Amino acid sequence: MLAFAPEIFEGESLYSWLTRWAMRAGMPSSRVALEHLVGRNHRQLMSLLPSVVEPLARFSHLPALDLVEHHSALPYWRLFTNETVFNSVQKDMVSGDTQSAYSRLSIVASRVTEPSVIRYCPRCAASDLHQYGVAFWHTEHQLPGVIACATHRVMLVSVPRSRSRLVLPPQLERAVQLSLAPMVAVQLAQLSRELLDASWSPLGNERLIYAYSVRLAEMGFASANLNVRQQAWRSELEAYWNPLLSEPSLDSVFSLGKRQQFPACMVRGVAANHHPLKHLLMVGALFESVSDFMRFTETAEATHQKVLERHARRIDRDKLRRKLEVEQQTLSKLKAGQSLRRVAKTLGGSVSTFKRIALRGGIEIKRRTQKLFEEERRVIWRKLVIGKSTQDIAAHIGCSVGAVEQELGRYSELPELRSRIRFYHKRGEHRANLVATQNSLKTPSRKQIQDAARASYTWLFKHDKDWLYKQLPEAIPRADRRRSK
């Protein structure tokens, strides 16, 4: 009886096939049939990597490798798993030993929650019933994080998992309770299906990191030399997958390492295999599909080159803008009468640089003294004698400060005179200020005056002490100071 294996359908899971087989085997109960088929010592029947391949292949005369490749979830791990590890797990599944498969595929280590339910699409079920006479479980609907049907874009219906119970989806002609799935749920289902069907050979860890980093730089989440802005990228990922964040598998990924580990771990030099779901969350937000991502990995260097060139162009643009700004400032300062030396000091750079800017800007910068008319020179002299600043004079005459300074150099007695004039001028200001302050106070003490006109007080103390002490009220004897306050 058991030898009459039912046909296994495309995309059907081993659990689904086993269930149909046991139900139709003509045994007293499906439980007895189950024992005959796979014995008592099986592990989770609904698991993504079930341990029942060997007996089922034996009874059905189907190649065990075909059952693993087309009816278990193992191929989902192929692209993002080290080839040696993958091949050894595949070999063990063929021989019925899946004890360590989970830990070797890093499912335990990366703590991605496996679904606690088994799922079906109501529309797939109705269509299967119509086409094959039975509604069955599809492997692609059982993958972590998949809650939508990639074909029909509706939400899958969940049934709680049980260790060894044999159940099929409801056998209904017409789909009931359909609800449209969010777009990202459909995308994740499609990405997961792509992995399941993929025949690409795995990419090395370094290649993956490089491809992700280049794409992130292209999208503005990393610098041109590929430093990823982790905070911004994490927020972007959360926003992107927002409708699915409460799904346990996705939640387990986003919660890793106190919510700090993912996605930073995807671009760091860790050689560990990451769970495919973590890759799909990256790939889905960065690319249209897994195949789109695979095409990108082939041209990642060229894309990186473009990113670097774009960055260099931006720097050049910034440099040029800065240069134009400096030129404009230089010209306007020179036109306002500032000397080349002063402009060079303010804006930073050599005098000859600014001279070139001036020449390009059509400004005549070195007016010789000889070119000043006699009348102008007299005006300059008169202003120098009364202590006006060289800048003010240059602006007044409309010549360069250099020309005024040269004129000043012609009279050896002038600098001394000018500094005396400036001294008297300053002294006058400070004396007036102190007197005004003193007059504004009712019963001024030395201390009050000093506080109210500190700058003048200090200047006078330094340069005009005799006058200051004559002007100030009598000092309060030291012993009385505290009381008088």
**Residue ranges binding Zn ion (CB under 5 A):** 121, 123-124, 149, 151-152
Least Å from the CB of residue 282 to Zn ion = 26
DSSP state at residue 126 = H
Q: Which is nearer to Zn ion, 123 or 427 (CB)?
A: 123
Q: Which is nearer to Zn ion, 36 or 123 (CB)?
A: 123
Q: Which is nearer to Zn ion, 6 or 122 (CB)?
A: 122
Residue 314 is encoded by which pair of tokens?
């931006």
Least Å from the CB of residue 138 to Zn ion = 8
Least Å from the CB of residue 117 to Zn ion = 16
Distances (CA, A) of 17 to 37, 114, 134: 12, 21, 11
Q: Which is nearer to Zn ion, 130 or 321 (CB)?
A: 130
Q: Which is nearer to Zn ion, 149 or 393 (CB)?
A: 149
Least Å from the CB of residue 85 to Zn ion = 32
Bridge partner residues of 120 (DSSP): 157
Q: Which is nearer to Zn ion, 123 or 165 (CB)?
A: 123
Q: Which is nearer to Zn ion, 124 or 211 (CB)?
A: 124
Least Å from the CB of residue 120 to Zn ion = 8
Q: Which is nearer to Zn ion, 149 or 404 (CB)?
A: 149
DSSP string, 210-261: HHHHHHHHHTTSB-TT--B-HHHHHHHHHHHTGGGTTSHHHHHHHHHHHHTS
Q: Which is nearer to Zn ion, 244 or 358 (CB)?
A: 244
What are the backbone angles phi and psi of residue 383, rounded to the nearest 5°? Answer: -70, -35
Least Å from the CB of residue 272 to Zn ion = 34
Least Å from the CB of residue 185 to Zn ion = 13
Least Å from the CB of residue 231 to Zn ion = 38
276-286 vs 230-240: helix crossing angle, rounded to 10 = 90
- On whether the CB atoms of residues 122 and 176 are closer than 8 A, the answer is yes
Distances (CA, A) of 81 to 106, 191, 261: 9, 16, 20
- On whether the CB atoms of residues 289 and 194 are closer than 8 A, the answer is yes
What are the backbone angles phi and psi of residue 157, rounded to the nearest 5°? Answer: -100, 135
Bridge partner residues of 117 (DSSP): 160
Bond from prior residue into 248 cis (ω within 30 degrees of 0): no
- On whether the CB atoms of residues 214 and 304 are closer than 8 A, the answer is yes
Least Å from the CB of residue 145 to Zn ion = 17
Residue 122 is encoded by which pair of tokens?
């109501």
Least Å from the CB of residue 156 to Zn ion = 8
First to last CA, the chain: 117
Q: What angle do CA 154, 12, 66 make, to 5 degrees?
A: 140
- On whether the CB atoms of residues 233 and 281 are closer than 8 A, the answer is no
In a 10 Å sphere around its CB, with 0-12 CB exposed, 13-18 middle and 19+ buried, how is residue 10 labelled? exposed
Q: Which is nearer to Zn ion, 151 or 450 (CB)?
A: 151
